[in-house]
Amino acid sequence: MDMTILQVFNGLSVSSILLLIALGLAVTFGLMNVINMAHGELIMIGAYSTYVTQGLFSAYMPKSWFDTYFIAALLVSFVVAAAVGWLLEMVLIRHLYGRPLDSLLATWGVGMMLQQIARFIFGAPNVAVTSPSWLNGGLAITSSIILPYKRLFIVLLVAVVLTAMYLYIYRTVQGRRMRAVMQNRSMAGCLGISTRRVDGLTFAIGSGIAGIAGCALTLLGPIGPSIGTYYIVDAFMVVVLGGVGKLVGTVVGALGIGVFNTLFETYTSASIGKVLVFACIVAFLQWKPRGLVALRTRSLD
């Protein structure tokens, strides 16, 4: 019984991590239809931003402030990754809209360059980030069911990011412009929306969310130049399974993969669990090629 409760929570926790790494991609790939292979490297940039913030705090701030570094790191990760994303959009991606294969190749190359730059700056070995002390330990529900604070925090963080994204896309003027551009670019342009600016902003937001994901990943394990490649497949799987172009699809996709991954791992092993999940995804996409939540728009036709 305890095992079941714990596994339900673990499934939710794995889902929330998947969702966090896929949310940024849901914007750049899902909404903008740009196959951004450098998405994993934007996650890496977020992770290293956290590492640097932590280093700055322990070097220049009073010791008692150290525990607050993580809040600052979340912000720094978002801003740095968004800035890199914005630059990337301006220099490269802007010229490749509507050419998915070209953007795939170009961003793949950018991804490797970013990895190499990280190796120059931080060295090849992976580094570990010290978690703030208020995230150590866990919430004890019974003696055997302990929910780690870090995972609770990530679940909470995902909820906050998701809400913020929803509010931005559906409740603000910029969000409405963004949806207009994604659905019908030329019509939106005719109505006086600066599509270029909207494109740049949207891509920067997607990248910034990847940065937040990178920041959160430092809580779970070590980080290194190639951390992004470890998560990029999962992120694409979530978005493709969920159905390209719909936020709700991404959420459902992440939940599905996370829960099934945990379920399979419980009854088999870590390696076989992953294989089974991928087998299920392949089978599902045979049956419903457009994913769980299909969207009908002209931009995708």
Partner 1 sequence: MKKQSVIVKGWASFVLCAILMSGCVTEKETAPTAGAGNGSPPVEAAGDSIKVGILHSLSGTMAISEVSVKDAEMLAIEEINAAGGVLGKQIEPVIEDGASDWPTFAEKAGKLLQQDKVAAVFGGWTSASRKAMLPVFEQNHGLLFYPVQYEGLESSPNIFYTGATTNQQIVPSVSWLLENRGKKMFLLGSDYVFPRTANKIIKAQLTAEGGELAGEEYTPLGHTDFSTIIAKIKEAKPDIVYNTLNGDSNVAFFKQLKDAGITSKDMTTLSVSVAEEEIRGIGADILEGHLAAWNYYQSTDTPENKAFVDKYKAKYGADRVTADPIEAGYTAVYLWKAAVEKAGTTDVNKVKEAAKGIEFAAPEGKVTIDGDNQHIHKTVRIGEVQADGQFKELWNSGEPVKPDPYLKTYDWAKGLSGE
Interface residues with partner 1 (CB under 8 A)? 2-3, 6-7, 10, 13-14, 17, 109, 112-113, 115-117, 119-120, 124-126, 128, 130-131, 136-138, 140, 144, 146, 148-151, 220-222, 224-226, 230, 262, 265-266, 269-271, 273-274
Smaller CB separation from partner 1, 217 or 251: 217
**Which CB sits closer to partner 1, 131 or 195?**
131
44: exposed, middle or buried (Cβ count in 10 Å: 0-12, 13-18, 19+): buried
Taking the least distance from each CB to partner 1, the nearer of 119 and 176 is: 119
CB of 124 to partner 1, least distance (A): 3
- Least Å distance, CB 194 to partner 1, is 30
Nearest Cα neighbor of 247 from 198, 206, 190, 219 is 206
9 versus 181: smaller Cβ distance to partner 1: 9
What's the min distance (Å) between Cβ of 198 and partner 1?
A: 29
Q: How far is the CB of 36 from partner 1 (least distance, A)?
A: 17
Q: Is the CB of 167 or the CB of 275 nearer to partner 1?
A: 275
Amino acid, single-letter form, for residue 242: G
Q: How far is the CB of 9 from partner 1 (least distance, A)?
A: 8
**Min dist. Cβ of residue 3 to partner 1 (A):** 5
- The residue among 7 and 184 lying less far from partner 1, judged by its C-beta, is 7
- Residue 258 CB, shortest distance to partner 1, in Å, is 10
Which residues have a Cβ under 8 Å from the Cβ of 235 and sit 6 or more positions away? Answer: 18, 21, 22, 24, 25, 39, 40
The least CB distance from residue 235 to partner 1, in Å, is 15
Nearer of residues 41 and 89 to partner 1, judged by Cβ:
41
CA dihedral 212, 156, 280, 272 (to 10 degrees): 80
Would you say 66 or 230 has its CB closer to partner 1? 230
